[in-house]
Structure formats: C-alpha cells, structure tokens
C-alpha cells in the first residue's frame, strides 16, 4: 500500500518515501506511524516488481467492473520517457576503439615510467618502501579501459545477435517458400533451386547463431535469445550494424543503462525508453501498456493489440493513432481483427492541396489514399479529433501532475515493471475519483 500511494502522489524515490513517513501525515497514517528504511523499500520493490506489475490487470478489471471501460474507442500513443541515465555517458563504437588504443598507450607509458621510478626508489628508500603514487594513476586508467572494453564487447554481442536473428528469419522464409513450391507441384527444377537456397540460408543462420553465442561468451553475458519475437513482445532495439553483425562506427551504447536508447523528444534528444499507452475514451483508463527501446512507434501496434486483448479481454471497436503508426501492414492488421482504425498518414507537403472529401475514389487508390480519405470524412474527422483529448492528457497527468518525467529503475525488464506500476496507479486514481463522484451524486440526489 505504501508503494502504491507513493506512486499515486509522484513520490518514487525510496529515500523520499522514507522521509515522507516521518514528515507527511498521510504517509504516517498509512504506515501506522512506522518508518521503514529506504533500503527495505527499495529491496521490496526490486524483489516484487513482477507481482506489482500484475496489479495493472487487477486494477483494470476493477475499472471494467465499475463500468469505466467500454472499449468503444481506444487511442494509442507512445511517449519518450527519460531513463535513469545521461546521454553524455554513451560512447560510439568508433570512440570505444580509439579510447582503448589511447588508454593502452598511456598505460604502457606509465608502466615504463613506473619501472624506472621503482628502480630509482629502490636504491633511495629500499625495496620495502614506495615513494610514488603512480600505481593509483595506473589503476584508474586500467579500470576505465576495462569498462570501455566490456561495453564494446557487449555492444558487439548485441549487434551480432541481431544479425543472427535476421539470418534465422531469412532461413525460415526460404524454408516456407520451398515448402509452398512442393505443395503447389511446381516444376522439379524450381523446387530444387528453392531447396538449395533454403539449405544455404539455414547454413548461414547456423553459422550466425554460433557466432552470436561465442560473442556473448566473450562478453561474459547470457547467450542471446535467437528465437523470433512472440506476438505480444515489444520490438527490440535496432542498433546500426553491418551485414556481418559488426557495429557501425556511430553505433552507441550507454554505460549507465545499456538497454536505454537515444531518442528524439519534443525537438531534443534524451536517453530514454519508448513507453506505449492504450487509453479508453470513457474515463481515460489505460487498457494496455508496454515499454521498448525502439524509438519508432510503427512497430509497436501489433504487439499492443495483443496486449489490449490480454489485459482487457477483448479488442476495441475503434482505434485512433497518429502518423507514427502508419503503415499498410498496420492498417491491414487492424482490419483483419475487425478494428475500425483511424491512423494519420502524415502531414501534407507544403503547397500540396488536401485530397477531396467527396467523389469516387480512384480505382487504383492504395491503402494510404483510402485512409487519408477516411480521415477527411465528417465521421473520420470527428473521431480522429478525439484522440488528443483521450491519450495526450494521460501523458500530461503522468509527467506533469504526478511529476513522473524520469524513470527510476534501469534495464528494460525493470523499466517495463515500473511503467506498469505507473499505469496501474494512474488507473487507481481514476477509479478513486469515479467512486467519489458517484458517492457525491448519491448524496446530492438524496438531499
């Protein structure tokens, strides 16, 4: 209860929660005038983060039971949230290699200098005494070299694993194509050619997998998950890499929170995460949430649909999304699942007139043209205009009203748990205010 109330009022630091248990009357009442130590609060959150994340679904069920969620119209949006890391603590692959070479050069020079000074001091002070502080200077450089080298190895392991997953996807696609050719009784020559390509792709995938496992072992990290993503899994970060999986010169990795990513937010760059929210229109209740370190929103629609169905029990009738989610595949995914989707297709180029609202569509109109016409209809304009009044205020309520502009935990798994806790407490506040308004209405009616 203490942690839930603290997140409701925007107090997430364990030290601030501990201080509030001494100074804030509400916190003192909640804890029966006891003051838990901040380390215990932090450890409780760390150990029970998964269970706390499950509260999101339980509180959502209470909101549904109270009649606050109809799923008639749901707005989906992604917001970039500052990680518990600085963008200045990141380094590119090129800079890592240069820094390693420079530090090795400095260490070798200091070692040679230390050997000369040691010999002089041995003659002056005796072998049991040391008159120089050079070993500390060496240790600092050696520690920095070790950190940079470890970060570089982990970055290379991540990009090599991403290349291995890509090779596996190619192999599965080639295998499926060969199987389809056999089922359709294609000519024997064509079948043989497709089988040969499938075998070659499988061999490349196996070699890439072995390379990824070795790179992970060299970096001292867990072997990567090379299986395809589950439908409800959020997209993985796509670090820039070359065909063989080697990072490009500009590929970056953060030392404080390696899972976080450099993302553009409100015209400037932050070290953060892409936090997704699906919000019901009735009472601004969050019906699904997710976190990824992939900046573009377009890849998040399909996993968020899976999460809405899992948490709310069914899919919405109508959905609205901004231009960041537009793609023909996303429009088709919504249509295939019976969702009436309104997805912005982007801004019009300067000087280009908007497409007409009326008149027959061209026979060769593509999905983007059809969606643009749909949005410009009276119904489409009315529905899409509601998006900014459904999901955008929720982002403001979380970041501005509760002051949760920066994540406290580090690492994608922990950040995902924290974002679920933030969403759960948002819904808890909505439920509390809804119940209170009902009670006030009953009192007014009876009086």
**3-class DSSP state of 131:** coil
Residues 11 and 128 in one domain: no
Strand blocks (E) in 97-145: none
Residues 297 and 373 in one domain: yes
In terms of Cβ atoms closer than 10 Å to its own Cβ (0-12, 13-18, 19+), residue 395 is: middle
Residues 319 and 439 in one domain: yes
Q: Give the torsion through C-alpha atoms of 353, 355, 359, 363, to 10 deg.
A: 120
Q: What is the largest CA-CA distance in the chain?
A: 100
Q: Stretch 195-208: mean pLDDT, rounded?
A: 92
The range of the structural domain enclosing residue 25 comes to: 1-47
Residues 266 and 406 in one domain: yes
Spatial contact of 273 and 293, defined as CB atoms under 8 Å apart: yes
Residue-level pLDDT at 183: 87
Does 433 score more than 50 pLDDT? yes
Residues 416 and 271 in one domain: yes
Residues 185 and 280 in one domain: no
The residue that leads in pLDDT, 333 or 236, is 333
Q: Stretch 69-95: mean pLDDT, rounded?
A: 93
Residue-level pLDDT at 131: 47
pLDDT per position as a tens digit, 7-66: 999 999 999 999 999 999 999 999 999 999 999 999 999 888 888 888 999 999 999 999
Cβ-Cβ contacts under 8 Å for 43 (sequence gap 6 or more): none
Residue-level pLDDT at 231: 74
- Asked whether residue 379 is domain-assigned, the answer is yes
- Half-sphere exposure of residue 299, counting CA atoms within 13 Å on the CB side? 15
Q: Tell me the C-alpha distance between 346 and 229, whole Å.
A: 28
pLDDT per position as a tens digit, 297-350: 999 999 999 999 999 999 999 999 999 999 999 999 999 999 999 999 987 555
Residues 36 and 76 in one domain: no
- Asked whether residue 246 is domain-assigned, the answer is no
Does 359 score more than 80 pLDDT? no
| pLDDT class of 353 with cuts at 50, 70, 90 | low
Residues 122 and 101 in one domain: yes
Q: Tell me the C-alpha distance between 428 and 283, whole Å.
A: 12
Residues 435 and 329 in one domain: yes
Sign of CA dihedral 297, 299, 303, 305: positive
- Asked whether residue 67 is domain-assigned, the answer is yes
Choosing from 201, 219, 237, the residue where a domain stops is 219
pLDDT, averaged across the chain: 88
In the chain, the percentage of residues whose pLDDT exceeds 70 is: 93
Residues 272 and 127 in one domain: no
- Asked whether residue 230 is domain-assigned, the answer is no
pLDDT per position as a tens digit, 393-429: 999 999 998 989 899 999 999 999 999 999 999 999 9
Q: What's 71's domain CATH number? A: 3.30.420.10
In terms of Cβ atoms closer than 10 Å to its own Cβ (0-12, 13-18, 19+), residue 50 is: exposed
- Asked whether residue 103 is domain-assigned, the answer is yes
Q: Stretch 169-190: mean pLDDT, rounded?
A: 89
Q: Tell me the C-alpha distance between 311 and 63, whole Å.
A: 12
pLDDT per position as a tens digit, 128-179: 545 445 567 788 888 889 999 999 999 999 899 889 888 998 999 999 999 9
Q: How many residues does the chain have?
A: 447
Residues 336 and 291 in one domain: yes
Structural domains counted in the chain: 3
How many CB atoms within 10 Å of residue 282? 17
């Amino acid at each position: 209860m203490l942690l839930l109330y603290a997140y409701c009022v925007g107090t997430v630091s364990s030290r601030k929660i501990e201080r509030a248990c001494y100074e804030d009357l509400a916190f003192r009442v909640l804890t029966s005038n006891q003051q838990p130590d901040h380390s215990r609060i932090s450890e409780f959150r760390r150990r029970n983060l998964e269970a706390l994340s499950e509260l999101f679904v339980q509180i959502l069920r209470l909101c549904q039971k109270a009649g606050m969620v109809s799923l008639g119209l749901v707005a989906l949006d992604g917001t970039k949230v500052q990680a518990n890391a600085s963008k200045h603590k990141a380094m590119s692959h090129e800079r890592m290699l240069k820094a390693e070479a420079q530090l090795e050069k400095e260490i070798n020079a200091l070692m040679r200098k230390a050997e000369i000074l040691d010999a002089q001091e041995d003659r002056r002070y005796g072998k049991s005494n040391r008159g120089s502080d050079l070993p500390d200077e060496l240790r600092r450089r050696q520690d920095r070299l070790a950190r940079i080298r470890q970060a570089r190895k982990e970055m290379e392991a991540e990009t090599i694993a991403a290349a291995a997953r890509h090779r596996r996807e190619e192999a599965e696609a080639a295998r499926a194509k060969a199987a389809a050719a056999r089922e359709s009784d294609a000519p024997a020559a064509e079948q043989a050619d497709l089988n040969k390509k499938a075998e070659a792709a499988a061999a490349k995938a196996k070699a890439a997998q072995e390379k990824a496992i070795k790179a992970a072992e060299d970096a001292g990290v867990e072997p990567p998950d090379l299986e395809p993503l589950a439908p409800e899994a959020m997209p993985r970060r796509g670090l820039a890499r070359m065909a063989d999986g080697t990072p490009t010169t500009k590929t970056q990795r953060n030392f404080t929170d390696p899972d976080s990513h450099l993302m553009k937010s409100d015209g400037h760059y932050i070290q953060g995460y892409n936090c997704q929210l699906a919000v019901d229109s009735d009472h601004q209740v969050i019906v699904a949430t997710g976190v990824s370190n992939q900046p573009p929103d377009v890849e998040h629609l399909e996993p968020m649909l899976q999460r809405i169905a899992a948490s709310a029990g069914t899919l919405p009738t109508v959905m609205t999304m901004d231009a960041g989610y537009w793609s023909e595949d996303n429009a088709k995914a919504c249509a295939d699942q019976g969702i009436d989707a309104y997805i912005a297709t982007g801004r019009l180029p300067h000087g280009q007139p908007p497409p007409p609202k009326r008149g027959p569509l061209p026979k060769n109109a593509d999905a983007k043209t059809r969606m643009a016409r749909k949005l410009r209809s009276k119904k489409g304009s009315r529905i899409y205009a509601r998006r900014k009044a459904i999901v955008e205020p929720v982002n403001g309520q979380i970041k501005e009203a509760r002051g949760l502009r920066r994540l406290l935990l580090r690492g994608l798994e922990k950040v995902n748990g924290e974002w679920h806790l933030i969403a759960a407490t948002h819904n808890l506040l909505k439920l509390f205010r809804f119940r209170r308004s009902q009670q006030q209405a009953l009192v007014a009616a009876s009086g």
